[in-house]
Chain A
């Protein structure tokens, strides 16, 4: 059996859905954050797969950008989460409802 584009895309979709599920059901901010990263990488996987099977480099270039931006975002996001934890002594999203009207 040769591995085709569909297989990659199915893996990518599974990864994306798992990440989404994590975002929706988990309460810990850190876990939610990791799930988000998983969704990003699912998208990366799909892009690389497309790039590989259509013989275009565009998708790979895009992935580089996403990885770079994600790295920067992780630095900022983690810093925020640490700062938040220090201030509130919790990382549970049910306790973080200050934006409520």
Chain B
């Protein structure tokens, strides 16, 4: 492997930018932005250079020892293989477009420096996850990603909703990470190593090492992915995370961070696919349920970013489901294409929101395509890619997943039916959004006076439109398959036809229901069901009434114990006794010389008695 210092540089440049901004250029918005954008562009360029020199199939590592305790040696190591290098390209590539776009989106915001520092910190942590060669380093970066996501969701912290959303995201993620940490400990306790390569080797020698714990370890690791990739039942934080600035939603909550969970599952796939383990079945069904629920919730949302957020949830469910049917290659493929077109959708939505003076309700948009041609056209292209219309990138990756559910090693006709249903829903809600907000006539004054966004925002849109269109022809699954194992999928015509029929049905439904309407016709037609969907199946309320309520109760009890037992009896008791003794001893300090003298003589007498007298 040549140029083996390059990955370190790629990893550390964004960190240097974050540190530089925080330490030196906070007052200077312009320089902060340049530093951050420069760092990610350099990282992207270096990644391209590295891949150009070494190719994708390097399968190498560079490492420095971090901890050396007894039998446990932990490195800061970078693992370079097709999986991590392709992810590296995606993260730095999509990240670059979004960094540049942010410059335009936040051009009037006073906190721009803080924003770019957060974005650079996030990029560093995400690259850390991608490159990590052991569980511990991955976990550290995993948490750092959570922290930077917290900082960026709460970027407009003066808005209570944003502050709450950032807290909710962080706490929900922590819940999943707790399971993840337990999983890591279990792996270490059983196999005595945290290094991915060694783990894979040891499991290759003794596949039954976990014995009856095989399912448990898979599910604990999956807990981390449930939190980070917002799978049911921890999906509630992602829609709320849309309170952050739109480029953040695009980068973190669509393209990269939420994909980290899927990446993790693929990275440690050898831990999930153990003999006697049922983890994959659970994973497949959790993914399927998430995809379906999120798709249903998306069809009754009115906020453009929330629709996209639920769509992201649904697509993440797809990827997780693909991992669950033992098809990590299609999962990573869909992750890659999804990163392109979902980032594009979010950036397009941001462009519209910006032009409409921060209006996010789709029923107050309309006519965007005519007023903002670049935004409108790229948004349309991304929608087609997301729905899986050939020959856009989404078609290929979605087809792979459908084929995997039908003919893969863990195929299940039920999951196939579910996946097709989700595909119908995807087309339906995306075209509902497009017909209402992008096509047609302006529905409000702001929409009729919208102007195309500046070049700094439209150029990233165009840049992302290229891979959204063409990624299907780049033989990405071949590259992933090199590492994750090729799947012998029969690309049955059934899967392809089903995916095409799903698109057509969804499209026709959307046109039939939403063509030329002024208000949403669905609530009348579906009645209570529409309210249920609009209220997200009352899951937030359910959590409020159960988990959060119980937690509050527990907290109240803990507070009482702290206040009365610990602070009251123990602390006050010690302090009170000391004070009483002090008050008593104080009486001895009479200030009278004779008293002191008598006491001194008595003391000497006692000492003499003990020294001589006995």
A residues with a Cβ closer than 8 A to B are 20, 23-24, 32, 93-94, 96-101
Q: B586's closest neighbor in chain A, by CB?
A: A101
Cβ A93 vs Cβ B592 within 8 A:
yes
Q: B590 within 8 Å of A by Cβ?
A: yes
14 contacts between A and B (CB under 8 A): A20-B601, A24-B597, A24-B601, A93-B592, A93-B593, A93-B594, A94-B592, A96-B593, A97-B591, A98-B591, A99-B589, A99-B591, A100-B590, A101-B591
Bound state CA distance, A93 and B594, in angstroms?
A: 8
Cβ B590 vs Cβ A97 within 8 A:
yes
Chain B positions 559-614 with a Cβ under 8 Å from a chain A Cβ? 586, 589-594, 597-598, 601
Interface residues on B, range: 10 to 19
Choose one: B591, B594, B597, B601; the contact of A100 (CB below 8 Å): B591
Q: A20's closest neighbor in chain B, by CB?
A: B601
Q: Which residues of B contact A98 (CB under 8 A)?
A: 591
Q: Which residues of B contact A94 (CB under 8 A)?
A: 592
B residues with a Cβ closer than 8 A to A are 586, 589-594, 597-598, 601
Choose one: A24, A96, A97, A101; the contact of B598 (CB below 8 Å): A24
A18 to chain B: closest CB distance in Å? 14
Q: A26's closest neighbor in chain B, by CB?
A: B594
Q: A97's closest neighbor in chain B, by CB?
A: B591
Cβ A23 vs Cβ B592 within 8 A:
no
Bound state CA distance, A34 and B34, in angstroms?
A: 87
Bound state CA distance, A101 and B593, in angstroms?
A: 14
Additional A-B contact list (8), CB under 8 Å, known A24-B601, A98-B591: A24-B594, A93-B592, A93-B594, A97-B592, A99-B591, A100-B591, A100-B592, A101-B586
Cβ A100 vs Cβ B589 within 8 A:
yes
Q: B593's closest neighbor in chain A, by CB?
A: A93
B596 to chain A: closest CB distance in Å? 9
Bound state CA distance, A32 and B593, in angstroms?
A: 10
Bound state CA distance, A5 and B598, in angstroms?
A: 30
Q: Which residues of A contact B590 (CB under 8 A)?
A: 97, 100
Q: Which residues of A contact B597 (CB under 8 A)?
A: 23-24
Q: Which residues of A contact B601 (CB under 8 A)?
A: 20, 24
Among B589, B597, B601, the one with the most A-chain Cβ atoms within 10 Å of its Cβ is: B597
Bound state CA distance, A93 and B586, in angstroms?
A: 20
Bound state CA distance, A101 and B586, in angstroms?
A: 7
Q: Which residues of A contact B586 (CB under 8 A)?
A: 101
Bound state CA distance, A24 and B601, in angstroms?
A: 9
Q: Which residues of B contact A20 (CB under 8 A)?
A: 601
Q: Which residues of B contact A99 (CB under 8 A)?
A: 589, 591
